[in-house]
Amino acid sequence: MRAFIQHERAPAKREVSFRAVTAAPTPLPTADAAPRDLRALLPDELTAWVKAAGEPAYRAEQIFRWLHGRGVETLDGMTNVPASLRTALEQAHPLTPLAQDVVQTAHDGTRKLRFRTHDGRAIEAVLIPDEDAARNKLTLCVSSQVGCAIDCAFCATATLGFGRNLTPGEIVQQIYEATARAGRRPTNLVFMGMGEPLHNLDNVVRAFTLLIHPWGAGFSPRRITVSTAGLVPGIAALGQLSPAPNLAISLNATTDEVRDDLMPINRKWPIAELMRAARAFPLGHGRKVTFEYVLLAGVNDSDADAERLPRLIKGLPAMINIIPWNPFAGPRFKRPSAERIRTFQEILRKHDVQTYIRTPRGDDIDAACGQLAVRGRPDLVPAPRKPRRTAPDLDRPGDADPSQASTWPPPAPTTN
C-alpha cells in the first residue's frame, strides 16, 4: 500500500506575502542575468561568447542546434564543433544535467517521467497522447519549479511545499528528454506540471524563448501554454512578450469567498483584478484565454456557480476547461458525480460558453492534473511536510524549509 501523506491544511486566514511577484516584470532577461548553464544561453548571448572566443559567429548556430534542435546531453556529440571550442565552452558554461529516472505508463498510454536534478531534487513531466489517435496530438506537461509555494488547497504538489525554481536548462531538458523517450516531438507544451510558472517568470520566459527559436526546437508559440494560479503582474509581463504563449488561468471559483479559501493567492489578487489582467492580455487572431475550473463537489459546482462563470468572462475570447477534481490522500474534497459535471457544463453551454471536460489522464499513476507530488513508488515518497501556519513568503524563494522540499534520494516512506 502506498504511504500517502496526510497533511493538515493551513488555517483559513493566511498571511500572504507576494511582493516578489509584484515587482516590475522583466519580459526578457538581460545578458547580465544570464545563467551560466550553456543550455540557458539565448542565441545572441551564445553568438557574443563565440565571437569573444575568437571563433566565427556561425559556431553559435551550430552549438545551439545541437543543444536545442538535437537535444544532446553532452558536448562530445557536437562533431562539427572544434574540440578546443568545446573545451572552452565546457569550462565557461558547464551543462547541468537532468537525469531521467523513473518512467511510469498509465493504462491510457499517459507516461509520467521522473527526473533527478543535479542537486538531488525530483521533478515530473507527463506525456499525454490524445485519446483520439487520429488527431496525432501529443501534449507534454512540464514542471517549472521543485514543489510549489502557492499552496492551493486541492493540489497534491502543494503538499511538497516550495523547493526551488527550475533553471531554463532544466525546463527545456524535460522537453528534450520526453521527445527522446516518446520517439517524437510533442505537438503541444503546457506549463501545468509542478510549480507556478509565473513565480519563476524569468526562467520560464527564457525557456519559452529557447523553445520557439528556429535554430532549436522551433515550437510555435501558439502550441505553448503557460498556466497560472493568478499572479497578476506575471500575466501582464507574459502579455508583453512578442510573440507570447497562450495563457491559461486556474480560476476554480466564482466568488472571492470560495477562491480565498481554495487559493490563498486570491487574497492578494482577487477575481476582479485577475479578470482585468485576463482582459488586458493581448490575444492574436483566433486566440482565447483558457480558464481552468477544478470541479469540487459541494464547493464550487453549484448551478449558481455555473450561472456566474459566463458573466465573469463575458466579452472575453475564452474557453473553460472543467477539470473534475483528481483525488489524492489528504484533503477534504470530492469529485462531483458525472451527472453534476454534465449539468454544470450544460448551464455553461446554454450561455454559449465554449467548454470542455478534461477527462483525467494517467490518474492510475498519479499523473493527472494536480497529482504530481513525486509519488507512485513507496520508496520514492517524499517526507511529509510540516503543516504551514502561514502562506509562503514568495519574497525569498529558495529560503523554503529544506525539510519540506522533495529531496533525492527520498527519505524512507512514512506509514499511516
Whether omega before 409 lies within 30 degrees of 0, making that bond cis, reads yes
Query: Does 155 contact ligand SAH by CB under 6 A?
Result: yes
Task: State which residue, 81 or 357, has the beta carbon closest to ligand SAH.
Answer: 357
Nearest approach, Cβ of 194 to ligand SAH (angstroms)? 7
Query: Does 96 contact ligand SAH by CB under 6 A?
Result: no
Query: Does 323 contact ligand SAH by CB under 6 A?
Result: yes
- Least Cα distance to 369 among 360, 378, 379 occurs for 360
Q: How many residues bind ligand SAH (CB under 6 A)?
A: 17
Catalytic residue among 141, 152, 155, 369: 369
Catalytic residue among 55, 124, 177, 292: 124
Is the CB of residue 127 less than 8 Å from the CB of residue 101? no
Cα separation, 252 vs 265, in Å, equals 12
Site string for ligand SAH, 284-313 (x = CB under 6 A): --------x-x-------------------
Site string for ligand SAH, 189-218 (x = CB under 6 A): ---x---x----------------------
Residues 404, 410, 412, 416: is their CA dihedral positive or negative? positive
Active site residue 369: yes
Which of left, alpha, beta for 341 (phi over 0: left; psi -120 to 50: alpha)?
alpha
Alpha-helical runs (H) found in 329-412: 338-350
Long-range contacts for 17-20 (Cβ within 8 Å, ≥24 apart)?
17/391, 17/392, 17/393, 17/394, 17/395, 18/231, 18/265, 18/268, 18/269, 18/394, 18/395, 19/394, 19/395, 20/199, 20/394, 20/395, 20/396, 20/397
Task: State which residue, 174 or 326, has the beta carbon closest to ligand SAH.
Answer: 326
Per-residue b/e over 14-34, b at no fewer than 16 CB within 10 Å? Answer: bebebebbbeebebebeeeeb
List all residues 6 or more positions away from 32 whose beta carbon is below 8 Å from its beta carbon. none
Specify the stretch interacting with ligand SAH by CB under 6 A; choose among 170-178, 204-212, 319-327, 337-345: 319-327
Task: State which residue, 203 or 228, has the beta carbon closest to ligand SAH.
Answer: 228
Task: State which residue, 193 or 216, has the beta carbon closest to ligand SAH.
Answer: 193
Specify the stretch interacting with ligand SAH by CB under 6 A; choose among 119-127, 154-162, 176-184, 301-309: 154-162
Query: Does 64 contact ligand SAH by CB under 6 A?
Result: no
Cα separation, 94 vs 100, in Å, equals 19
Task: State which residue, 41 or 142, has the beta carbon closest to ligand SAH.
Answer: 142
Nearest approach, Cβ of 300 to ligand SAH (angstroms)? 11
Q: Letter for the amino acid at 82?
A: P
Cα separation, 179 vs 200, in Å, equals 23
Cα separation, 52 vs 61, in Å, equals 15
Which residue in the set 209, 228, 254, 345 belongs to the binding site for ligand SAH (CB under 6 A)?
Answer: 228
Which residue in the set 370, 392, 397, 413 belongs to the binding site for ligand SAH (CB under 6 A)?
Answer: 370
Task: State which residue, 172 or 229, has the beta carbon closest to ligand SAH.
Answer: 229
Q: Which residues are identified as catalytic?
A: 124, 369
- Contact footprint for ligand SAH (CB under 6 A): 154-156, 192, 196, 227-229, 250, 252, 292, 294, 323, 325-326, 369-370
